[in-house]
Structure 1
Amino acid sequence: MRIINIIGHSNSGKTTMITKLVPLLAGVASVATIKHMGHHIWELPKGKDTTVHFEGGAVATTGIDAEKAVMSLRTMDVYEILDFYAWKGYEYAVVEGFKEEGFSCVVLGDLAAKNVVMRDANAEEVFAMRDMFEVYVPKKR
């Protein structure tokens, strides 16, 4: 699985880039995404069964309907999520944020970063260079 990390300051166009890049990648491979939420807390829906399970101490809860599954996990470790994606056989993980991890990245704007593959590229350019991004090797835990 290759990691394509999109980083930049707030309002630099990271999410816009990802919304354009994911369909391009999905046309040729399986794609999963991870977003660093920063200071934004994702609220679980109050009173719903999966929320009650989670609040009761479950380490993971999953709700499944006719179209999708939604999972809540207690982990905040990006590597555990990447390990899961790799285990599932996904071919690309598009990651927004986590600049401190040093994944090979596309930088939007003037942010200082290491392991930069491209700067201020558009989605089509990133797609064309997708094989230049690092292959993730799952951690043995």
Structure 2
Amino acid sequence: MQVLGIAGWSGSGKTTLLAKLIPVLIGRGLRVSTIKHAHHEFDVDQPGKDSWRHREAGATEVLVSSSRRWALMHEHRGAAEPSLDMLLAKLEPVDLVLVEGFKRDPHAKLEVWRAETGKPPLYPEDSAIIAVASDRPISDPARLRLAIDDIEAIADFVVAFARRKAA
């Protein structure tokens, strides 16, 4: 599996970009999965549901399954947060895993940077950023700059990355 991070500050448009990019990549024949790093208190379960009650009762893992999908919830119960490598090992093989978050990990990344966030770009401090999708020019001629709204060009870059790394 090839792994490409989508890095950037909150509000830069990472999720919006992924929501537009994933169907284009699938349309070009790639099998794609994602990993999203979330805030500490996120929850996919709802109070009062059976699965929630199982977790509240102390179950370490609760797997919920239906004819449409299944979801596994794992409570850390004091254990350390899993590394990206540990999470990648839980996925079924696909052509490409797009990772939103985990911006401090050393995997290859596409940075999403908008000047309007008021935050500096990450690429000057992160050599793992191989391209930047931005609404402004960038100061590093060694890194590819893609127009943030040009989904086809970004998809071209991602497909070339996935195929180059897979060879």
Whether TM exceeds 0.5 here: the answer is yes
Number of equivalent positions: 134
Task: Indicate the SS of the match to 2:68.
Answer: coil
Unaligned runs of 5+ in 1: 137-141
TM-score normalized by the length of structure 1? 0.81
Provide the residue aligned with 2:161 in structure 1: 132
Of the two, which has the highest radius of gyration?
2
Greater relative contact order: 1 or 2 (C-alpha under 8 angstroms, separation 6 or more)?
1
Of all paired residues, the percent bearing the same amino acid is 26
Provide the residue aligned with 1:65 in structure 2: 66
How many Å separate the matches in 1 of 2:4 and 2:52? 31
How many Å separate the matches in 1 of 2:67 and 2:42? 27
How many Å separate the matches in 1 of 2:165 and 2:51? 34
Deviations along 1:80-136, one digit per CA (max 9) or x if unpaired, are 220112xx2122111111111121011112224231121113432332122425969
Provide the residue aligned with 2:139 in structure 1: none
Letter of the 1:111 partner, please give it: L
Task: Indicate the SS of the match to 2:25.
Answer: helix
Aligned structure 1 segments of 4 or more residues deviating by more than 6 angstroms: none
Deviations along 1:36-60, one digit per CA (max 9) or x if unpaired, are 1134522521121212222333332
How many Å separate the matches in 2 of 1:39 and 1:30? 29
CA-based RMSD of the aligned residues comes to 2.3
C-alpha contact 1:3 1:135 (8 A) present in aligned 2:
no
Letter of the 1:118 partner, please give it: A
TM-score normalized by the length of structure 2? 0.70
